[in-house]
Amino acid sequence: MKGSKGVLIALSSIPLIMTLGNSMLLPILPQISKELRISAFQVSMIITVYGLIAILMIPIAGYLSDRYGRKKVILPSLILAALGGAVCVAAAWFSNGTSAYWIILGGRFIQGIGAAGAFPIVIPFVGDLFKDEKEVSKGLGIIETSNTFGKVLSPILGAYLGTLLWYAPFIAIPVLCLISCALVIFLVHKPKTEDKADPKSLKQFLTGIIETLHERGRWLYAIFAIGGICMFATFGVLFYLSEILESKYNLHGAYKGFVLAIPLALLCLASYGSGKVIGKNKPLMKWIGFGGMVVVTAAMVITALSDNIYFMVGFLSLSGIGIGVVLPCMDALITEGIEKENRGTITSLYSSMRFIGVALGPPVVSLLMNRGHWTLFGTMAGVGAVGGLLSFFAVTPSKEDSEGGGRPVQREYKMKKGNPLRQRVR
C-alpha cells in the first residue's frame, strides 16, 4: 500500500495518545487523592469510569465503523476525548474537593466514550488497509508497540507534569487528541475496495455477528478473555507500584515515573519483537501467546515470595515481557480470522474485554492490597494461569494455518466445532 508509513504513523498516534490520556494519571493518583481529599478507592474510579463507559460504547462504535467507515468514527471520537479532557481541566481550575472530583468523573465519562471509537477501531482498520497477512501482523505489532510505548512514556510524563501542576496531565489530553485528529485527516485515506456491498440492516448485521460467535465462539471468547487478563495484570501492577513507591519508599515525581516505566519498556520491546516474528503463522501465534501467559503466571508467583522493591520490579518486568509477546498474537489472530464486514464489531468486543481489564485492575488491587502481599500476587498468578489454560486448550489453529509460503492464496475462515481457525482454501 502506498504511503503505508504515513498511515501507520497516523494510526499509531491514536493508541499512543489514548494510552497517555489514561495512564498518565496513574503516577499522580496519590497526588489527586490528597488534593481532592478522597480515598484510594475513590481515586481509582477516575481510571475505572473511563474504562466502564468505553466497555459499553465500544461494540456500538464497532458496528458504526463497519457500516459507515472507520475514519468517520475515529475523527469524532478523538474530538470527544479532547472535550472530556477539557471538562476535567475546567473542574480542577474552577472547583475543588469532592465537587471537582465528581465533575472530573463526568469528564472522564465523556473521554471514555471518545476512547471507545478511537483505539479499538484502529485494529480492524489495519486489517482493512493491508491485504498481505504478514503486513497486517507487522502493522498490528507496530500499533501494539505504540500502545505500549504510551504506557512507558506515561508514568514519566505524568509524574513530571504532576510536579508542575497536579492537573497538568488533564491539560495535555485535548492537545494530544487534536494532534492525532490532524494526522488522521491528512495521512489516512479510505482503502479502495473492488466490491462495494450494500450496507447491511441492523437485523442482518446482528444475525451475522450471532452466527460468527456461534461458529467460532470457542476461540473468540478465549482471545477476548486473554486480552482482558493482560490488561487487568498491567493496570493492576501499575496501580500497585504507584501506591507502594510513594507510600512505602517515598519516591515521587520523575523518579517514581522512571521506576514504573521499567516493566512497561520491556513490554513495549516484547510487543514489537512479537509482531515482527509471528508473520502469518497462526500456530506460532498460539504458542507464543501460551508461552507469554506462562511467563506472566510464573513471574506473579515469584513476586508473591518477597516484597523487596528490587525483587518485585525485576519479576514484574518479566511479567511485562510475557504480556508484551501475547498481545500482538491475540490482535493478529482475531483480526485475520474474521471477514471484513464483521471485523470492526468482533474486534470491538475484544477491545471491550481489554477495557474491562483496565477498569477492574486498579480497584481490585486497591482492595487486595489490604489483604496482604501473597494474597494480591497469588490472585494475579491465578488469573494469569487461567489465561495460559485458555491459550493452550481453546486457541487451536490447524496445521494448514502454518503454511504461508509460495503462491498467495485467498482464504475463507470457516470454524468447525472443536477445530477453531481451520481454513478452507477456495
Q: Work out the pLDDT band at 18, boundaries 50, 70, 90.
A: confident
Q: Work out the pLDDT band at 413, boundaries 50, 70, 90.
A: very low
In DSSP notation, 151-201 reads: HHHHHHHHHHHHHH-TTHHHHHHHHHHHHHHHHHHHH--PPP-S--PPPPP
| CA 17 and chain centroid, separation | 12
pTM assigned to the model: 0.73
pLDDT at 387 over 50: yes
pLDDT at 42 over 50: yes
Instruction: Tell which residue, 340, 286, 321, has the closest CA to residue 130.
Output: 340
Torsion of CA 412, 413, 418, 419, to 10 degrees: 80
Q: From residue 84, give the alpha-carbon distance in Å to each of 115, 351, 360, 384.
A: 10, 20, 21, 33
Compute the average pLDDT of residues 284-296: 95
**Grid coordinates 504510551 are at which residue?**
150
Compute the average pLDDT of residues 21-42: 87
3-class secondary-structure state, position 151: helix
Give the Cα separation of 183 and 278 in Å (integer).
28
Residue 182 has what pLDDT?
93
pLDDT at 416 over 50: no
Residue 204 has what pLDDT?
67
Residue 408 has what pLDDT?
33
Q: Work out the pLDDT band at 297, boundaries 50, 70, 90.
A: very high
**pLDDT tens for each residue of 143-200:** 877 887 887 888 888 888 888 898 999 999 899 999 999 999 998 876 655 444 455 5
Give the Cα separation of 235 and 358 in Å (integer).
6
Largest Cα span, the chain:
65
24 HSE (CA, 13 A, CB side): 24
Least confident of 248-257, 267-276, 396-405: 396-405
**pLDDT tens for each residue of 100-110:** 999 999 999 99
3-class secondary-structure state, position 416: strand
Element (H, E) at 12: helix 4-23
**Grid coordinates 510464573 are at which residue?**
298
